[in-house]
Amino acid sequence: MKQIDNSILKFIQTMNKYPQEESPVVKKGGVRYSSELVKLQVDEKIYLSPELKFFYERCEIICDIRYDGHKLKSTSIDIGNSPLSLWSPENLVYRQEGFRWIGTDLKDDPEWNPFWLVTADINDDPVVVVTDKEGSPVMASYETGALFPIANSFSDFLDYLSITLELVQGKYNGEIIDDESFEFLEGFLEDLKEMISKINKNDELVENFIDYLYG
């Protein structure tokens, strides 16, 4: 588990390096590394892979809170455009609704593998971890469309997020959209592809990851 531990530490260090600004809508939560194992409160119907269990036991996911006091079920991560919502382990069971469980009576979707676990999303487009495969590969989709691979492992996924945060917040100061054209700033997507390609030579995976975040 050394690789996933290193990826977790890098991810949290990067988030702490660039603390998120408060929004007028919610008080930001975050992800905090715990020196002691976090006691997991995960519904028995949820299948965690060894990597995800390691992640949730060492990371306290602090959910965002609306200013009316309502606690949300996830924490938002600023990636420069639409935020990525990372769901806390105790709320994972609710995020499977509409995917693993469908309809008003929440029956099992026969086309959904129960080992596909939605752990995060951008505007309801899910990030799905395959919990019965070695390394916990990561896929994504647009709403209920076909899933496509974005990382060979959950560890890689965290590394890609760290790189993205470092680029967005470090080089571009959180501003990646041109105010006049509403397009991405020139060079941003190229910079991101170059940085991720240094640790993954699979062009398809790199492009899929970037397209999911910014497509």
Angle at 91 (CA atoms; ends 23, 35), nearest 5 degrees: 80
pLDDT string in tens for the chain (215-residue length)? 889 999 999 999 999 998 887 787 889 999 999 888 888 999 999 999 999 999 999 999 999 999 999 999 999 999 999 999 999 999 999 999 999 999 989 999 999 999 999 999 999 999 999 999 999 999 999 977 899 999 999 999 999 999 999 999 999 999 999 999 999 999 999 999 999 999 998 999 999 999 999 99
Q: How many angstroms separate the Cα of 199 from the Cα of each of 59, 159, 160? A: 24, 9, 9
pLDDT over 70 percentage in the chain: 100
Kindly report the CA angle at 84 between 82 and 89, in degrees rounded to 5? 155
Gap between the Cα atoms of 21 and 28, Å rounded: 8
CA distance 95 to 103: 14
Q: Answer whether 0.75 is exceeded by the pTM.
A: yes
At 195-208, the pLDDT tens digits run: 999 999 899 999 99
pLDDT on residue 8: 96
Cβ count near 192 (within 10 Å): 23
Residues 6+ apart with CB under 8 A from 37: 57, 58
Q: What sign results for the dihedral spanned by CA atoms 98, 102, 107, 112? A: negative
